[in-house]
């Protein structure tokens, strides 16, 4: 369908990072603004090349990574939409393009070249911003990559970035300070030689445990802005009182169900306090989110989950910008995703199998004008899929994708 349109050259070798002074200056200023404290653990004697794995909650993650690795050069893996209209700039600062949740052989070769050049490769293995400031378990493929490269593996876990700039409301930062980060070498080159890929993956997953709302409460970090709950209904889409979906709404620091009128107030420490009666069960936002996950899993196991909706589709074959494909149909069930449509008189159909689709990228109010969307990728194309109407939740689609993958692979 898009064969005649130039596609992003995923095979192009990564460039030697330039503009380092500007990047470092910007990063140091931002870290000073947030009074960021970076603790380094087991980093004595660790020098490039190494793999740096970072958790992902906000754009600020990139700046902390730059400060933590100073004065060394880094190449970062970046999603293709980050290259739109600025491919030359992203390549010049060492960016390596990746289409999310695809098995990209080119990327392995590019990572190897970065390490052969004695640089640091920065990877965000969760491949998306966290929806509620908690971690997503990583696949064994991460351990296999580390084992293959035979260099030290370092993690950088940031705390406070989600609280400062939550994915569900990116209209402005909240001025959170201080933030904290821990940079840890979890395995040296010699240790990696003696570990299996499974053991390496376990070490990484053990290091990749974080909860920004728990961190906020424990450290008594205040968020005083009046609109601190606005957008939270994107993540907390199901009411735990009446169980209705897509009836939640927010205003200022209040979250309310339009169906049963039950409401919660988000206090300055990120806790939800029921206005109707005291109910501590869902005071912690990630607990509510995981309750929704459990409900989606039950639907799947009871064969009640399915999605068949009208959508609008944009394609992103290269960094020049989006191509509008018009209306289409998105189907999602235990078999996976099916995207159907017609572009310039030609029918198209794309399929993604649930057994291999371990996650899906979603966006809330994408670019502040296009609405919520699902981002599905092939090796050559990226599709931004916007459901029409209001009776849906892209968060639920994301949870369903993860749970179907687990169910189908649990006995493999």
Q: What is the pLDDT of residue 279?
A: 66
- Structure letter (DSSP) for residue 138: P
- pLDDT of 277 reads 67
Report the percent of the chain where pLDDT is more than 70.
Answer: 98
Q: What is the pLDDT of residue 280?
A: 67
Q: What is the pLDDT of residue 63?
A: 97
Predicted confidence at residue 350, as pLDDT, reads 96
Environment class of residue 1 by beta-carbon count within 10 Å: exposed (0-12), middle (13-18) or buried (19+)? Answer: middle
- Could you give the CA distance from residue 90 to residue 93 in angstroms, rounded to a whole number? 5
Confidence check: pLDDT of 4 > 90: no
Residue 380 has pLDDT above 70, yes or no: yes
pLDDT at 384 over 70: yes
Reported CATH class of domain 307-409: mainly beta
Residues 168-213 have pLDDT tens digits of 999 989 999 999 999 999 999 999 999 999 999 999 999 999 999 9
The 8-class DSSP code of residue 238 comes to B
The CATH number of 20-218 is 3.40.1130.10
pLDDT at 357 exceeding the cut of 80 = yes
How far, in Å, CA of 64 to CA of 186, rounded? 19
Query: Looking at residues 307-312, what average pLDDT do you find?
Result: 96
For residue 38, the model assigns a pLDDT of 98
Same fold, 20-218 and 307-409: no
pLDDT per residue over 160-174, tens digit each? 999 999 999 999 899
Q: What is the mean pLDDT of the chain?
A: 94
Strands across the sheet with 323-333, in order?
346-353, 336-343, 323-333, 307-315, 382-387, 373-377, 361-363
Cα–Cα dist 37/158, whole Å: 10
Domains in the chain: boundaries: 20-218, 232-267+271-301, 307-409
Instruction: List pLDDT tens digits, range 34-83.
Output: 999 999 999 999 999 999 999 999 999 999 999 999 999 999 999 999 99
Residue 366 pLDDT > 60, yes or no? yes
Its sign, for the CA torsion 178, 367, 138, 299, is positive
Q: How far is 134 from 208, CA to CA, in rounded Å? A: 9
The model's pTM is 0.94
pLDDT, one tens digit per residue, over 235-291 is 999 999 999 999 999 999 999 999 999 999 999 999 999 887 656 679 999 999 999
Residues 295, 61 contacting (CB under 8 angstroms): no
């Amino acid at each position: 369908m898009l064969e005649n349109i130039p596609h992003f050259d995923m095979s192009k070798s990564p460039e030697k990072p330039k503009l380092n002074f500007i990047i470092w200056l910007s990063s140091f200023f931002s870290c000073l603004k947030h009074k960021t404290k970076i603790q380094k653990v087991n980093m004595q004697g660790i020098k490039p090349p190494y793999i740096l794995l970072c958790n992902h909650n906000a754009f600020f993650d990139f700046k902390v990574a730059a400060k933590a690795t100073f004065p060394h050069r880094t190449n970062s893996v970046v999603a293709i939409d980050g290259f739109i209209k600025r491919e030359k700039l992203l390549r010049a600062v060492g960016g390596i393009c990746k289409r999310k949740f695809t098995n990209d052989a080119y990327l392995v070769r590019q990572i190897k070249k970065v390490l052969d050049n004695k640089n640091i490769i920065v990877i965000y293995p969760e491949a998306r911003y966290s929806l509620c400031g908690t971690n997503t378990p990583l696949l064994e493929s991460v351990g296999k990559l580390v084992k293959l490269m035979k260099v030290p593996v370092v993690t950088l876990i940031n705390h406070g970035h989600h609280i400062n700039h939550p994915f569900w409301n990116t209209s402005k930062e909240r001025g959170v300070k201080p933030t904290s980060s821990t940079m840890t070498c979890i395995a040296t080159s010699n240790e990696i030689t003696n570990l299996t890929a499974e053991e390496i993956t376990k070490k990484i997953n053990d290091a990749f445990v974080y909860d920004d709302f728990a961190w906020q409460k424990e450290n008594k970090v205040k968020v005083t802005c009046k609109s601190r709950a606005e957008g939270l209904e994107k993540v907390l889409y199901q009411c735990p009182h009446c169980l209705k979906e897509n009836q939640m709404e927010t205003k200022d620091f209040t979250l309310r169900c339009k169906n049963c009128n039950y409401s919660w107030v988000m206090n300055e420490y990120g806790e939800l306090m029921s206005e109707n009666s005291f109910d501590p069960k869902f005071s912690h936002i990630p607990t509510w989110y995981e309750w929704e996950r459990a409900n989606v899993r039950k639907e799947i196991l009871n064969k009640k989950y399915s999605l068949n909706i009208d959508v609008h589709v944009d394609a992103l074959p290269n960094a020049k910008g989006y191509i509008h494909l018009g209306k289409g149909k998105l189907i999602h069930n235990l078999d996976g995703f099916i995207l159907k449509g017609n572009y310039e008189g030609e029918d198209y159909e794309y399929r993604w199998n649930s057994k291999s689709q371990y996650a899906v990228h979603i966006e809330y109010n994408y670019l502040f004008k296009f609405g919520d969307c699902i981002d599905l990728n092939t090796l050559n194309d990226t599709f931004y899929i916007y459901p029409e109407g209001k009776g849906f939740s892209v968060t639920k689609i994301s949870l369903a994708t993860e749970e179907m993958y687990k169910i189908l692979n649990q006995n493999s």
